[in-house]
Structure formats: structure tokens, C-alpha cells
Structure 1
């Protein structure tokens, strides 16, 4: 499958995270990428190595991405970000991290992370009012959708098949 470089920046342009994933395919929700355990992730703060495999959904024209992890990772980790921009050849996807995250650990309700960072970066980097509004709207929608009781298929029954496909196809 096609390698894809995922390049996530902060609003000031510095690297938030950059790594190599593999394109699994696409569906009505967007493009699905697989990342194996042990992949090196670069960042302005030095980086890290992935501790568990996961699949990432990159929806079209949405202010978020969603990552679905194998244990011991979080079940669902949604990043509020600018809409993804793909290179012409589809080998790189870029977005700007807007700090807010919606996270669901296994067996517990979701929570929102980094609200203080969002507020601080809004002032420090001068997020335009439109960006702030879109980020908050995306965060609220994600929080509602990630709740198990919401019945949102993407966050309950769709992603497991993509995780399984990553394991079957790529040994992820």
C-alpha cells in the first residue's frame, strides 16, 4: 500500500508531529491510514516512537481527524485541526493542530484535553475568530459523537474493521 507522510503543524508553523503511515483505503468517512508500533514520529520537541498500532481517519473538509488505537492506546483520539490538505500525488497530508482533543479511553466516557493550551495559543498565535469558532464547533460535535450512547457508527462499529484490515494487510 502507498506510504503517506503525515505532517501536522502548530499554528506558528513548527512541527507538531510528522511520521510515515500507509494508506489503507477510503470510505464515506474519508481516507484511512495505518501506523505500526515502533514508528518514529518527529516533532519540534524531539519526537517519540509509537507504542501501539493505530488507524487514522482523515475526513474530507472537516476540522478534525480521528485515531483509533490498539491497547494500550486510547480507544479513540480525535484531534481538532484545520481541514487536511493533500499533496497532488497523495503521498503527503498536512494540517494545523488547533490543540483541542476529544479522547475516549476504554470503558470510560470521553473527555476534552488541552482547553488551556487552546486558550493560550489563541492569544499567542492570534487564531482568527473564524478558526476559533470552527475549532469549538468541531470539538463540541466530536464530544457528542464519541460518546458511546450517541450511536455514531464511526465511533462504535466502523473503525474496528479498519483496525482489523490494517493487521491483515500490513501486519500492523
Structure 2
């Protein structure tokens, strides 16, 4: 089994969320990594967080998001982070978190989160206009895509089966 290091940073380069995950495969949507129950992740240098349910994560090679797909009974089924496109080198995947999140709850409700943080960081970190536009366009697309398009409908379930 091959492990891959996942490293999210903020626009000012500070370490954000990071963890080790299992390589599950690649398809037309991107790279799929998995974390079995009781895996851990960490935000910056804060204490580790243990995840009781399995989850898988998709890293697109050219789109401005990553997506976490949580196993039941977690109420958040899909958590998509708006990010710069993922960069792949050896066994490390890195990207910059651009604050906005699109969340699909298990009951089908879709929420956009951290719009205030996105607005604040545009000023604080000096996001270029093209980064702001791409982040917002990706967020707008995801609001609909998480309920109408693959890999958000069934594709992820085959990867989730591998880490349960």
C-alpha cells in the first residue's frame, strides 16, 4: 500500500490541513486517496484530529477544488474546498486553500461556507483578481455539480468501498 502526504496551505504559505492517506487510484476526475476509520489529520501545528468514519478525497489535476466524501453516518456527505489546482510531486499533493467551501449534507442540503473568510483574505493576502474570479466561478459551479454531476453522485462510492 502506497501512502501519500496531503498538504493544504493558505495563500500566505502557512501550513493548513495535512495528513497521510492511502493511494486508491486515478481516473478521469483525478487522484483518489482514502483514509480508513480512526485516521488522523492535523491543522497547522494544532493537536491531531481522529476521524471515526472512513473518507476518500479527490484531487483534480486541473480544477480549482478538492473534495472529501465521508462515510455514513457522518451528516456531511461531501465537503469540497475551493483551492488552487493540486500539484503532485513524488508522494505529496499540495494546494492552496482559498477559503470557500461547498458542503452537501446527507439530507441533500447544499451550503456555501466561509464566504466571510474569502472576502477578508482577498484583502489581507492580496488575492489577484484572476484567483478571486476562478475561486468564485468554481464555487458557483460546485453548488449545482455536487447534486447533479459525477463524481459527486456514485463514482466516489467505489473508492469509499476500498477504505471501509
Greater share of strand: 2
Q: Which runs of 4+ in 1 moved over 6 A?
A: none
Paired with 2:115 and 2:95, the residues of 1 have a C-alpha distance of: 19
Deviation at 1:146, TM superposition (A): 1.0
Q: CA, structure 1 residues 117+38, in 2 after alignment: closer, same or farther (shift >3 Å)?
A: same
Query: What are structure 2's unaligned runs of at least 5 residues?
Result: none
How many matched pairs?
A: 162
Q: TM-score, normalised by structure 1?
A: 0.89
Paired with 1:118 and 1:159, the residues of 2 have a C-alpha distance of: 28
Q: TM-score, normalised by structure 2?
A: 0.93
Partner of 1:164: 161
The answer to whether residue 117 in structure 2 is matched with residue 117 in structure 1 is yes
Partner of 1:70: 71
Deviation at 1:166, TM superposition (A): 2.3
Paired with 2:114 and 2:66, the residues of 1 have a C-alpha distance of: 16
Greater share of helix: 1
Q: Please give the root-mean-square deviation of Cα atoms over the aligned residues, in Å.
A: 1.3
The secondary structure found in structure 2 opposite 1:139 is: helix
Q: Is residue 18–residue 44 contact of structure 2 (8 Å, CA) maintained in 1?
A: no
Deviation at 1:39, TM superposition (A): 2.3
